[in-house]
Amino acid sequence: MPELPEVETIANGLNKRLAGDRIDSVWFGSKPEPLKSSAAVIARTPEGTRIEQVQRAGKHIVFDLAAKKKDQRQWIVHLGMTGRMLVAAPESELLPHTHLVARLKSGRELRFVDPRRFGRLEVRNSAFEGPGTEPTRISLEDFIALFRGRKTPIKGALLNQKLLHGVGNIYADESLFRAGVRPRRKAGSLTRAEYAKLHDALQEVLKEAIAAGGSSISDYVDADGEEGFFQLRHRAYGRQGKPCLVCKTPIKKIVVAGRGTHYCPKCQR
């Protein structure tokens, strides 16, 4: 599933290509699963609106739409595990599992393709900010307040979208490795110094991954169909059995909060 850096990369690419264009009409496929709002509402809300900007909120892509009446409307897309947003020429092949086609005034089409149908589409008439706090902007004090007193493993707390929205499995593992914190540690057991290291490591990892275009694991590509390359810099995730890049101890893989979790048993305490 695309995480914060991948969604940020896709949203930035879509914004460059679509900001200022207008949505003329919306077509839907026959599968109901991707629709969090009704098809009629999703079609009616974007039609005739200008795309002011495309941005990220947590793991969601948010299209800010300007209607003729100047009321605030948003079209919100969650990519799920295999969702893609493609800008295509109308004569290009319509890929299998295309669930939505928005025809644009420029003559292009914006298509939502999702083979596994875990993605979601909805519209809102009020600002969508995501379920938790934005991890790239949270202060140290607010970061500590989120986790202090919690008995759940710190890895599970990092994945809790109601606390920090956008952090997923890859970047939780990478941040914990850089901070030297074991993923099974109780979230409330960290010292202030450890919280500070984890806060810095999380922001550092996310910003590096955004700059690298995200991590291309499985199906992920950006808005231009290009793969990211932060996976080449992974120090823990996906490296089970390989020597730690710091101490040479083999990286271990365990399960925490139902997710495969990678860590160094020597460097992380």
> Catalytic residue positions?
2-3, 59, 259
Question: What letters, b where the CB count within 10 A reaches 16 and e where it falls short, cover 175-210?
Answer: bbbbbbbbbebebeebeeebbebbbebbbebbeebb
CA separation for the pair 261, 90 (Å, rounded): 43
Spatial CB neighbours of 44, under 8 Å, sequence gap ≥ 6: none
Measure the CA angle with vertex 157, ends 252 and 241; round to 5°. 10
Closest to 169 measured CA to CA, from 254, 87, 92: 254
Hey, what are 32's tokens?
A: 């109901």
Hey, what are 26's tokens?
A: 């919306």
Helix (H) or strand (E) holding 229: none
CA separation for the pair 34, 113 (Å, rounded): 10
N- to C-terminal Cα distance for the chain?
28
Bridge partners of 113, per DSSP, are: 84, 98
